[in-house]
Amino acid sequence: MSTEMRKERIDRAIKARSEDIFALNSYREMLYLLAPRVLPILAALVLAFSVNVYWQRVLISASVFGILAISWDLLVSCGMVSLGQALFFGAGAYFSGYMNHAFGWSPFVTVPLAAILGGAFCVIILIPVLRLRGVYFSMVTLILPLMLERIIEATRILGGTEGITGLTPFPSQWIELFVPFAGVWVALFAARRLMSTDYGLVLRGINDNDRSVISAGINIYIFKAQALFIGASMSAFAGAMMTQIYMFVGMPVFALDYSILPIAAAAVGGIGSFAGAMLGAFILVPLSEVLRGIGGLRIIIYSLSLVVFIVALPEGIFPYLQRKYTQFERWVKVET
Amino acid sequence: MFLGTLIYGFINGVILALVAMGFNLTFGISGVANFSYGAIYIFAGFLTWTIFHTLALPYILACVLSIICAALLGALMYRFVLLRLRGMVVSEVIATFAIGLAILEAFRYMGFIGFKYTLPVFWDGSVDLWGVYVDYQRLAIVGIGLLLTVFLYFFIHHTRIGLAFRGIAQDEQTALSLGIHSDWIATLSVAFGAGLSAIAAVAILPLGTISVGGGYDVLVNALAVCIVGGLGSAIGVVLASFLIGYAQMITSTYLGASWVMIVSLVAILIILVIKPSGLFGKQKELEERI
Amino acid sequence: MTQAPLLSVAGLSKRFGGVTAVDSVEFELRENELLGVIGPNGSGKTTLVNLITGFVKPDSGSIVYRGMDITGMNPYKIAQKGIVRAFQMVRPFYQLPAFKNLIVPLFSPRVKKLAGGKYGDRGAVAKDILEEVGFERDSAVINKVARVLPHGYLKRLELGKCVAMRADLIILDELFSGLSLAEVASILPIIEKLRVDGKTIIMIEHRLRELFRIADRVIVLNFGQKIADGPPVEVMESEAVKKAYLGTETEG
C-alpha cells in the first residue's frame, strides 16, 4: 500500500441546496457573500471620478472593449463563436456615423438606432450560416470584416478610405465617460440575467444539444437569430458609441483588434462567465496602454495572451478566482 | 483580349489551387484546423528574402531552407498548441488564427514593409503564346501546380500515410485502434500543409511584393476555394480554383483590382446558401442531425 | 365503425448510398394503440422513426398524421404537431439538474398553446412531471445534475420530456435497453397510465417479452421491409419472422 497526496476541494458552508440559495448564519457570512459583488462596483465608481483625463480615455476604451467581450461571450454561450466581432462593431459604427452625418441627428438618437439597425443588418447577412455547423459561422464572421473593408475601399461609399469625419460628439465629457462605463455594467447584468431565465436555458440547450431542442418542437434557427441579434446589437452599440466619442468612422472600425480582443479578454478572464470577459477586457486594455510605447505590439499581445490562456488556463482567471474564494482546498493523504 | 483573359484566368486558377492545397490537406483531409496558414505563407516569403539577402546564400538553398522551416513551424505549432486542443475545432481555429495574427503583425511591427521585399523569379524572360505574353515564372507556377496536384492525389489515395491522413479525420478512435499513431500523423499533416504553403509562397510571391496584408488574403482565398469546392475533395478544390480564378480575373479586368477579394467572399456566401457542403463535398451531416 | 387512422405510412423508402434502410414500408396506426416495432439489428427501425419525426427526408412515400401530410416536414414542426420521440441514444443536458432538463420541452410553442398562455413557474411543473414518470418527489435526485444520474433515471427523463410536451403520439426508441427487469417492471405502469390518458404509443424494442405484455399490435421489419403486422402472438408464429431472427437450417 502506498500513500499519495491528493487535493481535496470543499465548498464553504454557506450554500444550501442549490446554486442560488444560501444559508447565512452571521453578518460575517453575509459580508463574505456581498463583498465580491458590491466592492467592484464601488471601486469602479470611485475610479471613474478620480482619474485624470488620459486614464478616463483608457476607461472608456476598456468599457467599450468590455461590451464587445461580454457580447462575444454571450454569443458563445448560444453556440456561435464569432471570429469577427469587428463586423458588429463596425456595422454599428457606420450606421451611427452615417445617420449623424447625413441627417444631422444627435448622438442620443443615432447610437441606440445604430445598435438596432447594426444588429439587424448583421443577422440578415449571417442568416445563411445559422443552419450550418458552428465552424462555418466562425469562418464567415472571420472573413466578413476583412471583406467589408475591401468593399468600402473599392466602392468608395461611406467616405471610402478617408471615412466620415466631423461628427457631433456627446455634449459633455462626463457623459462620454459614463455612457460606455454604465453600458458595460448594464451589459454584464443583462447578459447574466438573460442566461439565467428559461429563455436563456433554451439558448444554452441549443448550444449543448440542438437535436434535443429541435425534438422539443422549438425552431432553433429563430432562437439563434434572436440571440445573434442581441449579441450583435450590443457590439453595434459599442461601435456606435466609439464613433460618436471620437467623432470619426472609417475603415479601421473593421480592424482585427476589435475581433481579437474580445476573444482574448474572454480567454483570459473566463469564457462563459460574463464577469470574466469583462475582467479580461479591464486587464488587457489598460495593460496594453501601459506598454503603449510599443504601439503596434498591442495586437500581438492580445493574440499571444489568447493563445497562452486557451492552452494553459482554459477556464480563465475569473473561475479560478471564484474557485479559490468559494472553496477550501487542502492536500489529503490517500491510501491506494 | 479574350485569349489573354482565358490564359491569365487559367494561371490564376492554378495559383489559387496551389495556395489552397496545403490548407485542404490539413483542414479538409485530416480535419485539423490551421488558420495560421496565410501567416506561414508570408513567413516563408520573408524568411527566404532574409536568407537570400542577409545571409547571401544561393536562392535555391534559401527556398529549400524556408520550406523546411515552414514545415517545422507547422510541426511545432501542432506539438505545443494544437495537441491540447484536439477535437475542439473552434478552439483550434481561434488559437491558430491568433498565432498567425501574431506572426503577421510581428512582421509589420518589425518593419517588413516596402517595395524592396520581393523575391527573384526562377528564370527571366517570357514566351509568346498565340499573341499573349506569359512570363516563365507563371509557366513555372503552372508546372509546379500541376505536379503537386498529381503528386498529392496519388499520395492521399494510394499511400499508407495518405490513407492515415484521411483516417484521423473520419474517426480518430478507429484510427488509433488500427495502429495509426494519430498525433504523429496529425503533426505530419500540419507540417506538410505548412510546407506546401511555403512552396506556393516561393513560387507565387516573385510575381509581386511580399506584403503582410497578403497573408490574410491567402487565408481567405484558401478558405474560399476549400469551402466552394468542398472540404477534402481534390476535384472540388481544382474546380473551385478555376471557377473563382476566372471570376477574379474577369472582375479585375472590368471592375478593378480592389474588387478581386470580394469575389472570394461572394463565392463563399453563394455556396453556403446553395450547397453548403461544397460542389464536391461529401459531408452531408452539415445539417442532418440524427 | 372504423375511425380514420391517427397515422398512416405508405410506400416509405429511404436509401443511404448503396444501402436501402427502409423499403416501401406501409402501416396504419389507430388512436390510443400501442404499436411495437421489432426486427433484427439494422432492419431500419430507427430510420423509420427518423423519417416519421422528420429528422431524415424520405426518398419516396408519404406520412399522413391526422389527415395532414407531414412527409418531409421540418422536425421541429412535427414535434409541435404532437409527435414526440425519446431517443435511443439518451443524451440529456448533462450540466443541468434533472428537473431543469424539462424546461426546454416546457418552453415549446406547443405547450404554450395547449396551456393557454405562459407557465408561471416551469421549474415547479417540471418537478410534477418528474414525479409522474417515477422520480420520487422531493428527493435529492430531482436536483442532481443529469451527468450523475443512473441509466434508469435518464430513461425516465426521456419519457418525462414526451410527457412535458403533451405529445399525442409518443415514439419510444428502445426505452427498455439497459434496464434491469425490476426497472422495466416499474416503468410499465407509467406507460400504461399514458395509454389510459389517451396517448398513442410506438415502441421500438429488442426486449420482446416485456414488449408483448403491453403491445396491441406489432410490426416486424427486416432489411427495411415490413414482413409481419398483427397481434404479438400471431406475429411470433409467423415463419417469416422466425427466419428473420433465427435464420434457416442449413442442409446436411
Question: Which of C84, C104, C168 has the highest number of chain A CBs within 10 A, making it the mutation to test binding with A?
Answer: C104
**A307·B95 Cβ contact <8 A:** yes
CB contact, 8 Å: A313 with chain B? no
**B265·A144 Cβ contact <8 A:** yes
Percent of chain C with pLDDT over 90: 35
**B289·C55 Cβ contact <8 A:** yes
Q: In what order do the strands lie in the sheet with C60-65?
A: C19-29, C7-16, C60-65, C68-69
The residues near A159 (Cβ < 8 Å, ≥ 6 apart) are A152, A165, A249, A250
pLDDT at B191: 93
Measuring CA to CA, which residue among C216, C212, C186, C187 is closest to residue C201? C216
Within 8 A of A17 by CB-CB distance, chain C residues are 143
A240 has a pLDDT exceeding 80: yes
pLDDT at B166: 81
**B89·A128 Cβ contact <8 A:** no
**C79·A205 Cβ contact <8 A:** no
Q: Is the dihedral of CA B79, B84, B85, B91 positive or negative?
A: negative
Rounded to whole angstroms, the Cα distance separating B217 from B262 reads 10
DSSP calls for A128-160: HHHTS-HHHHHHHHHHHHHHHHHHHHHH--TTT
pLDDT at A15: 57
A150 has a pLDDT exceeding 90: no
The domain that holds A140 is classified in CATH as 1.10.3470
Question: Which of C50, C77, C102, C107 has the highest number of chain A CBs within 10 A, making it the mutation to test binding with A?
Answer: C107
Question: Which of B94, B262, B270, B289 has the highest number of chain A CBs within 10 A, making it the mutation to test binding with A?
Answer: B94
Query: Across all residues in chain A, what is the average pLDDT?
Result: 84
CB contact, 8 Å: C56 with chain B? yes
Q: Which of C80, C93, C97 is opposite residue A205, by nearest beta carbon?
A: C93
Residue with cell 495572451: A305
CB contact, 8 Å: A217 with chain C? yes
Question: Which of A18, A19, A201, A215 has the highest number of chain C CBs within 10 A, making it the mutation to test binding with C?
Answer: A215
**B289·C56 Cβ contact <8 A:** no
**Are the CB atoms for B142 and B245 separated by under 8 Å?**
no
pLDDT tens digits, A300-336: 888 888 888 888 877 767 777 777 777 777 777 777 6
pLDDT tens digits, A268-283: 888 878 888 898 898 8
What is the nearest CA distance from C144 to chain A, expressed in angstroms? 10
Q: Where are the domains of chain B?
A: 11-210
Q: C200-235: b or e for each residue (b if 16 or more CB lie within 10 Å)?
A: bbbbbbebbebbbeebebbbbbbbbbbbbbeebeeb
- Quote the distance between the C-alpha of residue A48 and its chain's center: 20
Q: Is the dihedral of CA A262, A265, A267, A273 positive or negative?
A: negative
pLDDT at C48: 92
Q: Which of C74, C96, C143 is opposite residue A17, by nearest beta carbon?
A: C143
Confidence of residue B265 (pLDDT cuts 50, 70, 90): confident
**Are the CB atoms for A212 and A205 separated by under 8 Å?**
yes
- Quote the distance between the C-alpha of residue B188 and its chain's center: 16
CB contact, 8 Å: A197 with chain C? no
pLDDT tens digits, C167-218: 999 999 999 988 899 999 989 999 999 999 999 999 999 888 888 888 999 9
pLDDT at B190: 92
**B109·A128 Cβ contact <8 A:** no
pLDDT at A301: 84
Does residue A45 lie within any of the structural domains? no
- Expressed as residue numbers, the domain containing A119 is 3-30+51-335
B231-250 average pLDDT score: 89
Q: Which chains touch C (3 or more CB pairs under 8 A)?
A: A, B
**A211·C87 Cβ contact <8 A:** yes
How far from C227 is each of A279, C23, C62, CA to CA, in Å? Answer: 64, 11, 19
pLDDT at A287: 84
CB contact, 8 Å: B102 with chain A? yes
Q: C97: nearest CA in chain A?
A: A18
CB contact, 8 Å: C190 with chain A? no
What is the nearest CA distance from C125 to chain A, expressed in angstroms? 13
Q: Can you tell me the ipTM of this complex?
A: 0.86
Rounded to whole angstroms, the Cα distance separating A285 from C229 reads 70
CB contact, 8 Å: A308 with chain B? no
**C84·A217 Cβ contact <8 A:** yes
Query: Across all residues in chain B, what is the average pLDDT?
Result: 86
C-alpha cell at B157: 489515395
B169 has a pLDDT exceeding 80: no
A17 has a pLDDT exceeding 50: no
CB contact, 8 Å: B290 with chain C? yes
CB contact, 8 Å: A211 with chain B? yes
**Are the CB atoms for A59 and A181 separated by under 8 Å?**
yes
Of residues C123 and B285, the one with the higher pLDDT is C123
The DSSP element (H or E) to which A8 belongs, if any, is strand A3-11
Within 8 A of C80 by CB-CB distance, chain A residues are 217
B86-90 average pLDDT score: 77
**Least confident segment among A24-28, A134-138, B149-153:** A24-28
What is the nearest CA distance from B288 to chain C, expressed in angstroms? 7
Q: Which of A18, A202, A214 is opposite residue C75, by nearest beta carbon?
A: A214
Q: Which of C97, C104, C122 is opposite residue A216, by nearest beta carbon?
A: C104
CB contact, 8 Å: A208 with chain C? yes
B282 has a pLDDT exceeding 80: no
Percent of chain C with pLDDT over 70: 96
**Are the CB atoms for C193 and C158 separated by under 8 Å?**
no
Q: Which of C84, C94, C96 is opposite residue A215, by nearest beta carbon?
A: C84
pLDDT tens digits, A163-194: 888 888 888 888 888 889 889 999 999 999 99
Amino acid present at B83? L
**C56·B290 Cβ contact <8 A:** yes
Does residue A40 lie within any of the structural domains? no
A47 has a pLDDT exceeding 80: no
Confidence of residue A20 (pLDDT cuts 50, 70, 90): low
Q: What share of chain B is helix, strand, coil (3-state, %, to 5)?
A: 75, 5, 20
CB contact, 8 Å: B287 with chain C? no
pLDDT at B286: 43
A22 has a pLDDT exceeding 70: no
B251-268 average pLDDT score: 86
Q: B289: nearest CA in chain C?
A: C55
Within 8 A of C84 by CB-CB distance, chain A residues are 215-217
Q: Which of B94, B102, B227 is opposite residue A83, by nearest beta carbon?
A: B94
Measuring CA to CA, which residue among B54, B186, B83, B199 is closest to residue B140? B199
Q: Which of C95, C107, C165 is opposite residue A202, by nearest beta carbon?
A: C107
pLDDT tens digits, C89-121: 888 888 888 889 999 999 888 888 887 766 678
A11 has a pLDDT exceeding 60: yes
Q: Phi first, then psi: what are they for C71, rounded to 5°?
A: -60, 125
**C91·A213 Cβ contact <8 A:** no
B283 has a pLDDT exceeding 70: no
pLDDT at B290: 36
Does residue A35 lie within any of the structural domains? no
A34 has a pLDDT exceeding 90: no
Rounded to whole angstroms, the Cα distance separating A267 from B169 reads 27
**Are the CB atoms for B120 and B60 separated by under 8 Å?**
no
pLDDT at B91: 82
pLDDT at B289: 41
Of residues C252 and C12, the one with the higher pLDDT is C12
pLDDT at A330: 74
pLDDT at C1: 45
Q: Which chains touch A (3 or more CB pairs under 8 A)?
A: B, C
B65 has a pLDDT exceeding 60: yes
A116-129 average pLDDT score: 93
Q: Which of B102, B220, B272 is opposite residue A146, by nearest beta carbon?
A: B220
Q: A199: nearest CA in chain C?
A: C107
Confidence of residue A13 (pLDDT cuts 50, 70, 90): low
Fold of C34-43+77-246: Rossmann fold (3.40.50)
What is the nearest CA distance from A135 to chain B, expressed in angstroms? 6
Residue with cell 524556408: B66
